[in-house]
Structure 1
Amino acid sequence: MSQSEPKPSVADALKHFYGVQVNAERRGWQKFCCPLHADSSPSASVNVEAGRWSCFVCNLSEDSYAIVMRELSCGFPEAKEFAHQQFRGSGEDLPRDVPGKPGRVLRSSPGPRGTGRKVRTGIRPFGSTWS
């Protein structure tokens, strides 16, 4: 894989792992229901231009590589290889850092902002319980 390959689209990663369909042609932020928890109203947003998605309930912000790393429990080199093989680098060439607020990660231990509760990742049918 060459250094100049474009970064895979966050829309492709969301569709692959969660079945979330977003309009890849639309500019700016698009709201949708977070696939990581049951939503009755949209709490997540995706910006295909910036290559990021965020959920305000999960306190999470990720790009396509971070989605792959979390879902496959792998490191960055493996996630990068998987993403480029699976999505064929279909995203736009993005700068290494997107201006704005830094991304956040899921908290699994008590911290200044968190309650310390674990957020279980993955997909579950709407209205089901974790058992």
Structure 2
Amino acid sequence: MKTSPQKPPIAEVLAHYYGLEVKASRGRQKVCCPLHADQNPSASVNLDSDRWNCFTCNLSEDSFDVVMREENIGFPEAQEFAHRQFGGDCPDVPRDVPGESGRGVHQRSWSRGSGSALRPGVRRFGDTWS
């Protein structure tokens, strides 16, 4: 039986896509969200659970979720991409992973009022909105 490839650390994925530097010595760190114009940190990275979330965007993702969104690919392709880009222990990435059909962006159901909505499309960290 094939096993799922190891998920890359969220700190590596955020550094790759957005240039965010997450300190490995800390379990949880506040950061500016790379998906919207942020003056003050509205996001946090949790190295213990290997997830990041933005309280303004109402978004919570693991490293596979980020790869799927940024590369515009499905879960099996994200596993292959992550294995090629970030390495891992599993040389053969399975095409069908049992129990992984519910993958995707996890959004909380509560709202903070009007808040800032995530703008259409995704910008790379450092780009400006036009």
What is the TM-score with the length of structure 1 in the denominator?
0.72
Is 1:17–2:20 an aligned residue pair? no
Instruction: Tell me by how many angstroms 1:25 deviates.
Output: 3.2
Is 1:103–2:106 an aligned residue pair? yes
Count of matched residue pairs: 112
Aligned to 2:87: 88
Check whether the contact 2:31–2:44 (CA below 8 A) recurs between aligned residues.
yes
Question: After TM superposition, where is structure 1 displaced by more than 6 Å over at least 4 residues in a row?
Answer: none
Aligned to 1:125: 126
Stretches of structure 1 that go unaligned for 5 or more consecutive residues are 91-95, 97-101, 106-110
Instruction: Tell me by how many angstroms 1:119 deviates.
Output: 2.0
Check whether the contact 2:19–2:125 (CA below 8 A) recurs between aligned residues.
no
Q: Which whole-Å CA distance do the structure 2 matches of 1:112 and 1:26 have between them?
A: 28
Do the aligned partners of residues 35 and 112 (structure 1) sit closer, same or farther apart at CA in structure 2, a change above 3 Å counting?
A: closer
The RMSD of aligned alpha carbons is: 3.0
Quick one: percent identity of the two aligned structures? 50
Deviation digits for residues 41-97 of structure 1 (CA, Å, limit 9, x no counterpart): 10010011101000011110000000000001000000011011111138xxxxx9x
Stretches of structure 2 that go unaligned for 5 or more consecutive residues are 90-98, 100-104
Instruction: Tell me by how many angstroms 1:124 deviates.
Output: 5.3
Do the aligned partners of residues 73 and 31 (structure 1) sit closer, same or farther apart at CA in structure 2, a change above 3 Å counting?
A: same
What is the TM-score with the length of structure 2 in the denominator?
0.72
